[in-house]
Amino acid sequence: MPAIRLDKISTRAPKGLSKDKTKKKTEQLLSELDDLQNLLYAESKHSILIVLQALDAGGKDGLVRNVFGKFNPQGVLVQSFKVPTAEELSHDFLWRIHKHTPAKGYIQVFNRSHYEDILVTRVHKLIDDETAMERMQAINHFEKLLEQNNTHILKFYLHVSPEEQEKRLMERIKDPRKQWKYNENDFTERKLWKEYMGAYHDAFKHCNDVPWNILPSDQNWYKEYLAAHALHALLKNLNMQYPGIKK
């Protein structure tokens, strides 16, 4: 498989693609996904793990709200991973992750994930390259273990341009509805764009046993369509059936 190079992938929808028609397609997909999620929950043979990764202001929260937030909340869980606590740091790096993996019948969304431990840590020199490679190997084994337990994984990288990221970060200063998201450190992290791209490219290269989906994310309507379409295709291919009356 060719290496993923973000600088070769557009952050926008293809020219000429209709925003209105695409949004209608997304609405149809979400309607069908509501039924598919109910079937997933009822059959209780499979689980879904959604991994969302992006730079700051990549649009993860909006994707959770506008796509995964449309489902029955009984069957969807969202977990955000922040800076590890002292307790979490006293264990292996996957310890805090594994306890949030989905039970059969559930969809679990990771808003940031185990990949932070080979991205942020590497960019800020908290781990060396050898440790990063060891962790990538551990991630591959971890994801294989989940798949062996009928957990199907969709990994999404929300691909925004530097220009769009700057626009969104500035909105967090000017828009009263978004000021609660403002973090001065986001502008510091933005200066490390090149370093983050290098870390992500290594993650795509060495942790692609479960393939990455790159979502052009400068336009939220296109990003949401692609995510909904990928999840719809996955659930349809499971050929699930409602269980009969229990005897």
| pLDDT, tens digit (0-9, with 9 covering 90-100), for 61-106 | 999 999 999 899 999 999 999 999 999 999 999 999 999 999 999 9
* Residue 104 to residues 67, 94, 95, 98, 201, Cα–Cα distance (Å): 21, 20, 20, 14, 32
Q: Name the β-bridge partners of 107.
A: 48, 76
Domain 18-236 falls in which CATH fold?
Rossmann fold (3.40.50)
pLDDT band at 187 (very low <50, low <70, confident <90, very high): confident
Neighbours of 26 (CB within 10 A): 23
What is residue 191's predicted lDDT score, i.e. its pLDDT? 93
pLDDT band at 1 (very low <50, low <70, confident <90, very high): low
Cα 190 versus chain centre, distance: 20
Judged by DSSP in three states, 151 sits in: strand
What is residue 209's predicted lDDT score, i.e. its pLDDT? 96
Q: What is the mean pLDDT of residues 11-19?
A: 97
Q: How far apart are the first and last CA of the chain?
A: 48
What is residue 2's predicted lDDT score, i.e. its pLDDT? 75
pLDDT band at 156 (very low <50, low <70, confident <90, very high): very high
Percent of the chain with pLDDT over 70: 100
Chain-wide mean pLDDT for the chain?
95
pLDDT in tens, 204-231: 999 999 999 999 999 999 999 999 999 9
225 and 168 in contact (C-beta within 8 Å)?
no
Instruction: Check pLDDT > 90 for residue 185.
Output: no
215 and 225 in contact (C-beta within 8 Å)?
no
Q: What is the mean pLDDT of residues 37-61?
A: 96
pLDDT in tens, 99-139: 999 999 999 999 999 999 999 999 999 999 999 999 999 99
Instruction: Check pLDDT > 80 for residue 247.
Output: no
Select from 18, 20, 9, 44 the least CA-distant residue to 212: 9
Question: DSSP letter at 219?
Answer: S
What is residue 180's predicted lDDT score, i.e. its pLDDT? 79
Q: What is the mean pLDDT of residues 167-182?
A: 85
